[in-house]
Amino acid sequence: MYNDIEEVLFTREEIDQKVQDLGKQISEDYGKNNEIIMVGVLKGACVFMADLIRQIDMPVCIDFMAVSSYGYSTESSGIVRILKDLDLEIEGKHVLIVEDIIDTGLTLKYLTDNLRSRNVKSLKICTLLDKPERRKCDLDIDYTGFKIPDKFVVGYGIDYAEKYRNLPYIAVVKG
């Protein structure tokens, strides 16, 4: 479909297994008697979150936020803007942020600080992909699918110029 894919990092089957494992761990950690609000960070996390919620065996509510720190650049400006805030009330609730990929962590740090200020009962982070080499701040990531090298990846919801999100695998784009 795309001629500029350098290599496939994770196949559909590997992703499916990892999502099942994460869902099982989340269910065990929270327990069946609790309810969580899963907050997907748009747009990239939508595919991961859709698959993940079906693997969680407990009451789940979902909501989404859209944030931006990049503008029209490929590097974060460090200034975060909330483009779409939550519709649900999260005060006193267990909240799980669902991310597609974490690199510098600056945007997610802002987001976690913002959500904690809303007096949540608990706040955890789940990411499919983690690029620890790029981290510029301290973050406690509770659930990580895969750690990846500092390469530009696409697929399974992750885009480049709004393309590639529909790939069922995660791949490196030729540089």
Give the residue numbers annotated as catalytic, written as ranges: 103
| Gyration radius from the chain CA atoms | 16
Amino acid at 87: D
Q: Are 138 and 156 in contact (CB under 8 A)?
A: no
- Residues 100 and 108: beta-carbon distance below 8 Å: no
Residues with Cβ within 8 Å of 24's Cβ and at least 6 positions away in sequence, in order, are 55, 57
